[in-house]
Amino acid sequence: MARIVVVTSGKGGVGKTTTSAAFAAGLARAGHRTAVVDFDVGLRNLDLIMGCERRVVYDFVNVINGEANLNQALIRDKRTQGLSILPASQTRDKDALTFEGVQAVLEGLAEDHDYIVCDSPAGIERGAHLAMYFADDALVVTNPEVSSVRDSDRVLGLLSSKTRRAEQGEDPVQEHLIITRYVPERVGKGEMLSVEDVGEILSIDLLGVIPESSAVLNASNSGVPVILEEQTDAGQAYDDVVARYLGQQREHRFITEKKGLFGRLFKG
């Protein structure tokens, strides 16, 4: 049975879509049939980051409305075997997503996939609620700054109370924390929350820390999930995230300040 993973946050611009693309590609590279679904109706950025925007013919809303079937709307990734993308509509509003329609699409995807990654819009409106409602796992993405962490805490409240698992009294959604745009040097100067600060506020399992990196923007502009850029720090960090999610033990990297030659010679 497919496992549904929502990638969510309370604040926009923290890297949810980048994370969704990288995480889904990583799962597929590990041999799991994976579909990634764009719930951000009206904006539609996932297909750009996945590099398949020119191949979009039908979208999520077309499938919900019966104007196309899943096989017609799913875009098979050319680089990663076993990875499919279901794009959002740019021409509809968020009310086009219905509870029954989303449920039917997820059930259809579950027949042929091991994982379904739901790329949620920011905030707590309808699209975000539907993206998280059916989830088994949640990747809560936050930047190490107070407003982002505070908004993520609000999302954690929704995950514990307004999901199918909560309503039916099942085991709760498994929550995992991903901290993005992390700069240890700024943490050292007191300009940014530390990993420990964020963990203390949110109190959920830390899945990974993604460093601030030009590789993320370069990969997005090229239409390549950054996890495929294996020589970059961000690509390696996302590879660690996927490995940890799948049960491997890996040390957290990119969370300590890099020392220059002088610092290495004269520690402390």
What is the structure's pLDDT at 119? 97
- Please tell me the predicted confidence (pLDDT) of residue 177: 98
Q: Please list the ranges in the chain whose pLDDT falls under 70.
A: 94, 259-268
The pLDDT score that the predictor gives to residue 48 is: 95
- pLDDT for the residue numbered 233: 96
| pTM of the full structure | 0.94
Rounded CA gap, 41 and 48, in Å?
14
Q: pLDDT value at position 264?
A: 46
Per-residue confidence (pLDDT) for residue 92, from 0 to 100: 75
Would you state the pLDDT for residue 259? 61
Q: What is the pLDDT, as a whole number, of residue 200?
A: 95
Tell me what pLDDT residue 43 has.
80
